[in-house]
Amino acid sequence: MKILFFDAKSYDIEAFDKAVKNYKGIELDYVESDLSIKTASLVDGHDAVCGFVSSDFSAPVIEKLASKGIKLILLRCAGFNNVDMAAAKAAKISVFRVPGYSPEAVAEHAMALALAVNRRIHKAYVKVRENDFALSGLQGKNLRGKVAGIIGTGKIGATMAKICAGFGMRVIAYDKFPNKNLTFIEYMSLHDVLEQADLISIHCPLTDENYHMINKKTIATMKDGVILVNTSRGELVDTDDLIQGIRDFKFHGVGLDVYEEERNNVFENRSTDIMETSIVSRLLSFPNVIVTSHQAFFTEEALAAISTTTLDNASAFAAGKPLENNQVK
């Protein structure tokens, strides 16, 4: 099986070239460009494509891939909201993902954002470099004894919940399908979680029903001085409403690893570009906001797990024994 990797970065190539040595009959090629209607023509001679969170798997792209003989889409990520599944089904292309490569990587980054924004580490770092040792503007809040509100308690949310419990927080959560095994979590409605939490961390997937679940109305139900962290998907939060909420002093801090319209930015050095949107600069104009660029997954352990699972998906598909749990249907 020949797989063409789109949006391949040096760290992807390193991890996959190392992992593929353990798989017979799989050949990997890499291109730097991400998948789009233009770059889809590069797949000639390949059986499968491997894409990431920003790859364009819209219906026209999928149709083009199918016309060039692609049978398999391998996502080297957990989320699959960028894939038009109806189009994939119609084109008889199977889609596989890596559902849980390292929940710790993402949950630890979520807590890192919460801690950094709470204690203004991003501001302190710059101030001390400028020999400004004054503490004004840096005051934080203790987490111990506060309430952590987790939205979505799957693999990552459950890990974040455990981390928060380790900090001595009471953990409340909303999930469409509560996990009864997580006995330390108090499940309640989304409204109640938003109303009671001092730290809200979003860990549910983006679906049609929860697009902009954090909006003007839901922000109004939150406590004043809340910390909001989103490491899940940008479109879960209405950015304009978030910015208004920040201007209204609703938030002590906001930590975002994902944001709307991140697609052109993710993993690119755009320091000399004229940007087409002002979302990041508007968000960063606030002293209590930290934005990272979809890096929550980015640990050594996660990359190793991503490459192994992606290649397991490819070889099981080739052997006619698809790994059911990893298949997107």
Ligand X SMILES: NC(=O)c1ccc[n+]([C@@H]2O[C@H](COP(=O)([O-])OP(=O)(O)OC[C@H]3O[C@@H](n4cnc5c(N)ncnc54)[C@H](O)[C@@H]3O)[C@@H](O)[C@H]2O)c1
Kindly list the catalytic residues: 233, 262, 294
Exposed, middle or buried by CB within 10 Å (0-12, 13-18, 19+), for 3? buried
For the chain, how many helices (H) and strands (E)? 11, 13
CB 120 within 8 A of CB 230: no
Q: How far is the CB of 63 from ligand X (least distance, A)?
A: 25
The site that binds ligand X (CB under 6 A) totals a number of residues, namely 30
Angle at 185 between CA 213 and CA 155, to 5 degrees: 65
Select from 134, 170, 166, 116 the least CA-distant residue to 287: 116
Element (H, E) at 92: none
| Partners of residue 28 on adjacent β-strands | 3
Q: Which long-range contacts (CB under 8 A, 24 or more apart) does 52-57 make?
A: 52/6, 52/7, 52/76, 52/77, 53/77, 53/79, 53/82, 53/266, 53/294, 54/7, 54/82, 54/262, 54/263, 54/264, 54/266, 54/267, 55/6, 55/7, 55/82, 56/82, 57/82, 57/83, 57/84, 57/88
Q: How far is the CB of 296 from ligand X (least distance, A)?
A: 4
Dihedral sign for Cα atoms in the order 42, 43, 46, 52: positive
Alpha carbon distance 271, 151 (integer Å):
34
CB-nearer residue toward ligand X: 194 or 258: 258
122 forms part of the interface with ligand X (CB under 6 A): no
Residue from 150, 294, 313, 326 that binds ligand X (CB under 6 A)? 294
CB-nearer residue toward ligand X: 149 or 152: 152
Dihedral sign for Cα atoms in the order 154, 205, 210, 292: positive
| Closest residue to bound ligand X by CB | 154
Residue from 8, 50, 61, 106 that binds ligand X (CB under 6 A)? 106
Residue from 43, 49, 112, 156 that binds ligand X (CB under 6 A)? 156
CB-nearer residue toward ligand X: 40 or 258: 258
Q: How far is the CB of 64 from ligand X (least distance, A)?
A: 26
| Partners of residue 295 on adjacent β-strands | none
**Site map (CB under 6 A) of ligand X, residues 250-289, x = contact:** -------xx-------------------------------
100 forms part of the interface with ligand X (CB under 6 A): yes
Residue from 2, 18, 38, 176 that binds ligand X (CB under 6 A)? 176
Residue from 15, 78, 91, 226 that binds ligand X (CB under 6 A)? 78
Select from 73, 74, 77 the least CA-distant residue to 102: 77
CB-nearer residue toward ligand X: 139 or 207: 207
164 forms part of the interface with ligand X (CB under 6 A): no
The tokens for 200 are: 């809200």
174 forms part of the interface with ligand X (CB under 6 A): yes
Residue from 233, 255, 283, 288 that binds ligand X (CB under 6 A)? 233
**Site map (CB under 6 A) of ligand X, residues 297-316, x = contact:** x-------------------
CB-nearer residue toward ligand X: 54 or 210: 210
46 forms part of the interface with ligand X (CB under 6 A): no
Applying CB under 6 A, which residues contact ligand X? Answer: 78-79, 100, 103, 106, 151-157, 174-177, 203-205, 207, 209-210, 231-233, 257-258, 294, 296-297
